[in-house]
Chain A
Amino acid sequence: MPKRIVAGIRNIGHRVIDGVWRLGVASRFFLLVLFKSGTSLRRFNLVIRELYFTGVLSLIIIVVSGLFVGMVLGLQGYETLQKYGSESAVGTLVALSLVRELGPVVAALLFASRAGSAITAEIGLMKATEQLSAMSMMAVDPVARVVAPRFWSGVISMPLLAAIFSVMGVFGGYLVTVVFIGVDEGTFWSQMQDAVDFRFDIMNGFIKSCYFGVAVTAIAVFEGYDAPPTAEGVSGATTRTVVTSSLAILGLDFILTAFMFRGVS
């Protein structure tokens, strides 16, 4: 019996050491990417090409989901606020929840599953087909040539996508409450503008989405670069990217919110 307990404890220790080791490798890889991103910033065409794949091709899902999230928020908010006779505050509700939370978080979750998984799969497959080794044999650094442009394209496109998501959400809320239900247009906008502060709400949301962009793409490129060079390995890495970055987004969101909105209401 004590033997089994010792084995169990040893198992826990093994997992913890493994996890810490992997985290260390990931952090060192992240620093390496930052260190070697000079080339990709000088040859900005590489980043533009990746911006097309991560940013432009994610636009449709971001726009459509933003619109629907805003419409649902408008409907639900109206249903609840109407009970208290303050349906004019529905604009405030929609705008604040989108700008502060839903815009950055939902856009980042969608971005992780739309673009993050694609980045992982692409880099992982390049590794599995030995394209990365071929590159380093030709004295082309794969981290500078393949990984860094993808990382920076994600960092740039994430805040823009989050802003587009929030705007589409506010438009969706406007569509449902003002156009369909018939809340007064003037009060909808004026109450919203009264409540949403530029520095406090919009800038904090923007900063949040920048953090999420860094986190999601750093996880995606690391998982791709670290993937075992087999078909199974790449598929596992892609799954891990989505799971880890979703958890990272939600955890980071709580920490950032606690720092930004603590003690002020």
Chain B
Amino acid sequence: MQRTTMDLWVGLFVVMGIAALMILSLKVGNLNVYNPSQSYVISGNFENIGGLKVRAPVKSAGVVVGRVTDIQFSTQTYDAVVTMNMDSRYLFPKDTFASILTSGLLGEQYIGLAAGGDEAMLKDGDKIMKTNSAMVLEELIGRFLFNKAAEDDSK
């Protein structure tokens, strides 16, 4: 085989391989959505995190603005401390409300942020004060039955 043709084929092969890696990271993965190099860390205490997992997205208005990096149990307050890595493009007021939500009926759980009205913004290492824990199905049904019983009594 001629040298030049062989070089051409090998070059094509390498370009194809690198293009495949690019496609994997840009089209299949989410490299373009979230750049972890510029980020700040905030945390929040939740009474119950339900099925929240490390690497779950943090969303505000449905847009991914960060990711959960760590979940610990605190023996001081007896609740869960969730650490989040936030994209530094998005700053949130100090009185932002964080709640654990579920995408779809069987979907994964994520943290939803609802911005407050405070002038001061959350900085690296800050703590979110207002949190809302995950919906637990049993508690939900229990509350529903309780309300139902109360309604029947009042009749």
Contacts and interface: CB of A to CB of B under 8 A. Distances in A.
Interface stretch (A34-42, A131-139, A161-169): A161-169
Interface in B1-59: 1, 6-7, 9-10, 12-14, 16-18, 20-21, 23-25, 27-31, 33, 36, 53-55, 57
B140 interface: no
Interface stretch (A49-57, A218-226, A232-240): A49-57
Contact of B24 (A156, A166, A199): A166
Interface of B is mostly: helix
B106 interface: yes
A157 B13 contact: yes
Closest 8 CB pairs of A and B: A160-B17, A163-B20, A167-B20, A198-B31, A198-B29, A164-B20, A196-B29, A163-B21
Contacts of A157: 13, 17
B9 A159 contact: no
Contacts, number: 86
Interface string A88-117: 000000010001000000000000000000
Interface of B: 1, 6-7, 9-10, 12-14, 16-18, 20-21, 23-25, 27-31, 33, 36, 53-55, 57, 106
A170 B27 CA distance: 10
B147 to A, nearest CB: 29
Interface of A is mostly: helix
A197 B28 CA distance: 9
A192 interface: yes
B29 A197 contact: yes
Contacts of A202: 21, 24-25, 28-29
Given A167-B28, A202-B21, 4 more contacts: A51-B10, A52-B10, A197-B30, A202-B25
B33 A193 contact: yes
Nearest to A161: B17
A78 interface: no
Contacts of A167: 20, 23-24, 28
Contacts of A48: 6-7, 10
A87 interface: no
B24 to A, nearest CB: 5
B17 A163 contact: yes
Contacts of A159: 17
Contacts of A164: 16-17, 20
A157 B27 CA distance: 22
B28 A192 contact: yes
Most-contacted residue by chain B among A49, A161, A167, A201 (CB, 10 A)? A167
Contacts of B6: 48-49, 52
